[in-house]
Structure formats: structure tokens, C-alpha cells
A and B are shown apart, each in its own frame.
Chain A
Amino acid sequence: QKEVEQDPGPLSVPEGAIVSLNCTYSNSAFQYFMWYRQYSRKGPELLMYTYSSGNKEDGRFTAQVDKSSKYISLFIRDSQPSDSATYLCAMSPVGTNDYKLSFGAGTTVTVRA
């Protein structure tokens, strides 16, 4: 079993729809949860990060963490064609020495105009 599970999709939605992405994980030591957006042939770009459980909102993006279920989500409201990309979840324990990020496989999203 992988440490982080993420459905690779692909996911195709019409413009204006809500995009719902999620990851599950097995390591209860994870405390920081990140979402990255990666356009084709580009490096990942940090979208949001959250600490422990709870919600965080930034514009059209909302990140949720449910540590009791070991489940994290990213919602994109009013999706735009420019949101078409691969979305990677990543997570890490607390601490400067445990530096490795655990990544999901990435979900490819296409927003149709």
C-alpha cells in the first residue's frame, strides 16, 4: 500500500463547475499538507498548505484536512480553463530533519470551455 493515495483521473469538468480532488494517507505522523499545481512540462507550483486538521480558503481554492479519517481535499470553485493541470498532494511530518515530502500520484484535471 502506498503511503499517499491519489486518484490519477483524468477528471474533466465544464467551465464554472466545482472541482473536487482528494488524497488519503496512512502515516499518522503527517502534520503539514500541501497542494501543488503542475502545468505540462513545468515544475510544481505551491497552491496551499494546511497544518493539522481544518479548512483553509484562498480565493477560489479551499483545502480541507480530516486527520481522523486521514483524508485531505482540495476544492476549486468556478473552475476556469486555466485551471487545467495536474494537481499533486504532498504531506510531511513536523520537524526540520524529516525533510522528505510524500507525494500523491497527481490528478490530471481538464476544464472545458
Chain B
Amino acid sequence: GAVVSQHPSRVICKSGTSVKIECRSLDFQATTMFWYRQFPKQSLMLMATSNEGSKATYEQGVEKDKFLINHASLTLSTLTVTSAHPEDSSFYICSARIPQQLAKNIQYFGAGTRLSVL
């Protein structure tokens, strides 16, 4: 199956610092990638859609200035949590669709990044 790589898998940082998370499609080009947030024992919550070469589309209630998304190439999207605070601690997961399955909207997920803000 398609492979989506996410890095780092675990981040511990101090309050006020910024953290960057990378999401790569390893064997296919992804014009669109997705960023989710997951709280313990809850389902995935879509935060934003990352579009290659253009601005990301954020879901209602997600702060654009807090969660900066950059999709500079067809294989890489980054999520930067700016001035992180303890309430930003969560599990962040990216996903992508392979070109041959766009109409099916089947998403392949990265391994996730666990962010802990002290």
C-alpha cells in the first residue's frame, strides 16, 4: 500500500516554543495532504487540508496563525505549531491520497506525532 512518512514521532518541548512536523509521501506525489488531531480515546478531527503550491484550507475553529501549514512540494507538507502551550499537547496525524484513488477519497495515514508541551 501507499506509504506516508511522518516525523518526528514524539516531541517534548517547553511552552512558547515552535514545533515543526513533517509529512512525506514516499512513493507517490500528493497534491493534497491532510492534518488531523486526535485526543485520547477519541476519533480523528480534521484540522486542515494542505494544498501544494497554495494556501491551506482550515476547518472551522482551527487557528491559522497557531497551526502553520506549508506544502512546498508534491511530496512534503509541514505543520508548525507556533508558540506551543500545554493545551496544544495532542497526537497529530497527517494523511494523503494516492493519485489513482482520488475519486475514492481513500486516505493513507502517517504514524502520527505525539506532542507534549511542558
Contacts and interface: CB of A to CB of B under 8 A. Distances in A.
Contacts of B93: 43-44
Nearest to B97: A99
Interface string B83-118: 000000001010101000011111111111010000
Interface residues of B, number: 27
Contacts of B112: 41-43
B104 A43 contact: no
Contacts of B106: 32, 34, 46, 49
B77 interface: no
Interface residues of A, number: 28
Contact of A99 (B6, B43, B105, B109): B105
Interface of A: 8, 32, 34, 36, 41-46, 49, 51, 88, 90, 92-96, 98-101, 103-106, 108
